[in-house]
Chain A
Amino acid sequence: MDWLWELIGQQAQAGCMAVQGGFVGLMGEGDAIAGNFCRLMAGAWLTVKLTLISLVIGFALAVPVALARLSRNPLLNWPAVAYTFYFRGTPLLVQLFLLYYGSGQFSPELRELGLWRGMFREAYFCALLTLTLNTAAYTAEILRGAMLGVPAGEVEAARAYGMSGVKLYRRIVFPKAMRIALPAYSNETVFLFQSTSLVSLVTLLDLMGVARDVISSTFRTFETLIFAGLVYLAISFLIFSIFKRVEQHLMRHLKGAGGGEGQSAAGGTKA
């Protein structure tokens, strides 16, 4: 697989250089955006990559947290409540600095455990870990609300059919909860995507990081920030439109059947 990624990378870079050449020809040699187009796009790629990875791992983490949050066992419930309250109640920037700078206070211990080199020492690892833990907390709350929004009648019907435990959740609760959670989850995805811009403050060269770099070398603050803003805006729109597609796909069985079920889904999101 590696050779494939390398090939794609090379092709992307070659294509990007060609586009950059075109822009430089169009805008002139000294233009801040045209001259740094490839670097900015590489930054945007890191932004997207950080979003995707933390989204996937965050979701995988959010499911057990949401279940623990719904559990009546205090040993499961309490840690989940504390975790979601902490990560939802403090700024992402503090969490990021806490992990990136704060881990330095325990560097001897972390080194001992083999968690320093290639892990807590690296800004990339800390940024990814922070984003993942943060989005997992928000997603867990969304999922919890959605699971509470699953109509009791459906769960009762499933139980009457003899379903219980994992099967009940896999066949009835999760599919229904996903539909209820989708609008809120699409918002959370866009928020996560935008908040990745904070990683530029711990030296990472994401879109924002490259933009700041370009500003400090060209002093073209306005153009560079507006360009970065437009790229963020475009990708935010892309994320929304993807979610709209997914939503239509998941709701396709409701077409023409009246708004009954659709209404209950919309009501569930508010809760």
Chain B
Amino acid sequence: MEYTRELFQGYQWVFWAGAEITLLVGLASLPIALVLGLLGAWSKLCSIGPLRGLAVVYTTVVRGVPELVLILLFYYGLTILLQDLIAFLAGSSEPVDLPRFLTGTMTLGLIYGAFATEVFRGAYLAVSRGQIEAASAFGMSPFLAFRRVILPQMWRFALPGLGNLWLVLIKATALVSVIQLPDLMYQTNVGRMATRAPFTFYFTASLIYLLITAVSLIAIRYAEQWASRGVVRKI
């Protein structure tokens, strides 16, 4: 205890405070990404032309532009847009302060929704056609067939991709520090500036990220085993 206090010069709290926000940002943006991914995959596979086109534009643009550009564009762009809107409606220029946590998680969710789209699309295509035909032969409506037959099998095919997505997402949360969201990266910067030990601080932060990754890897393995519990292993 005494040693850590000396090592971090009383700034060890930055890691606890930061790791909590990092995990919260990651856990909050994951469901957004999953929902957008399911919607995106559905749009890409549906028969409505414009919707398909929209999904293709969404995944192409988001995956072709760096996350940093998108995060800044979202945060500052929305701020300016709201400011202009208020100025236009009320006639006075009020400084707008967007909720950082909300904007940060929404942006990350939007970015990784594009990656989730590809994962879900691949998983849907991996479910055998016969299963879907059998479901409709039983008189299930498309929605019921999706819920009872396709989705439970899709999970199994989607899990490796989704696990990967989570690992990339949790690392990408470090970028929200540029919009002053006090995550692990941001707090580590605070510690670095207050002390004269930048290496100690960044190295410790990297080990915390590594720990999150390691725990996630174990959890993903269990989830994959659970999802394939009804499947005979060939090897």
Using Cβ atoms and an 8 Å threshold, which residues of chain B touch A197? 66, 68-69
* Contact in complex: B197, A105 (CB < 8 Å): yes
Q: Please report the total number of B residues contacting A with Cβ < 8 Å.
A: 40
Indicate whether B172 reaches chain A with its CB closer than 8 angstroms.
yes
Using Cβ atoms and an 8 Å threshold, which residues of chain B touch A195? 66
Give chain A nearest CB distance to B64 CB in angstroms.
4
85-114 of chain A: CB within 8 A of chain B: 85-86, 89-95, 97-98, 101-106
Bits for B40-73, please: 1 = Cβ < 8 Å to A, else 0. 0000000000000000000011011111111011
* Contact in complex: B171, A232 (CB < 8 Å): no
Stretch with Cβ within 8 A of A (4 or more), from B28-36, B98-106, B146-154, B199-207: B199-207
Using Cβ atoms and an 8 Å threshold, which residues of chain B touch A101? 192, 198-199, 202
Bits for B149-191, please: 1 = Cβ < 8 Å to A, else 0. 0000000000000000001000111110110000001001100
Given contacts A197-B66, A225-B72, whether A94 and B209 have CB atoms under 8 Å apart is yes
CA distance in complex: A86, B203 (Å): 11
Using Cβ atoms and an 8 Å threshold, which residues of chain B touch A85? 210
Residue of B nearest to A201 (CB): B178
CA distance in complex: A89, B70 (Å): 23
CA distance in complex: A233, B64 (Å): 5
Residue of B nearest to A200 (CB): B68
Given contacts A103-B199, A106-B199, whether A91 and B172 have CB atoms under 8 Å apart is yes
Residue of A nearest to B69 (CB): A229
Using Cβ atoms and an 8 Å threshold, which residues of chain A touch B167? 89
B67 touches which one: A86, A194, A228 (CB < 8 A)?
A: A194
* Contact in complex: A232, B73 (CB < 8 Å): no
Give chain A nearest CB distance to B183 CB in angstroms.
10
Give chain B nearest CB distance to A214 CB in angstroms.
13
Using Cβ atoms and an 8 Å threshold, which residues of chain B touch A106? 199
Indicate whether B221 reaches chain A with its CB closer than 8 angstroms.
no
Bits for A181-213, please: 1 = Cβ < 8 Å to B, else 0. 000000000100011011011000000100110
Indicate whether A71 reaches chain B with its CB closer than 8 angstroms.
no
Using Cβ atoms and an 8 Å threshold, which residues of chain A touch B188? 94, 97
* Contact in complex: A225, B213 (CB < 8 Å): no
* Contact in complex: B206, A98 (CB < 8 Å): yes
Using Cβ atoms and an 8 Å threshold, which residues of chain B touch A103? 199
* Contact in complex: B198, A86 (CB < 8 Å): no
Using Cβ atoms and an 8 Å threshold, which residues of chain A touch B196? 105
Residue of A nearest to B178 (CB): A201
Indicate whether A237 reaches chain B with its CB closer than 8 angstroms.
yes
Using Cβ atoms and an 8 Å threshold, which residues of chain B touch A237? 64
Indicate whether B125 reaches chain A with its CB closer than 8 angstroms.
no
Give chain A nearest CB distance to B103 CB in angstroms.
14
* Contact in complex: A86, B66 (CB < 8 Å): no
Which A residues have a C-beta under 8 Å from some C-beta of B?
A: 85-86, 89-95, 97-98, 101-106, 190, 194-195, 197-198, 200-201, 208, 211-212, 215, 221-222, 225-226, 228-229, 232-233, 236-237
The 3 A-B pairs of least Cβ separation, nearest first, read A102-B199, A91-B174, A89-B213
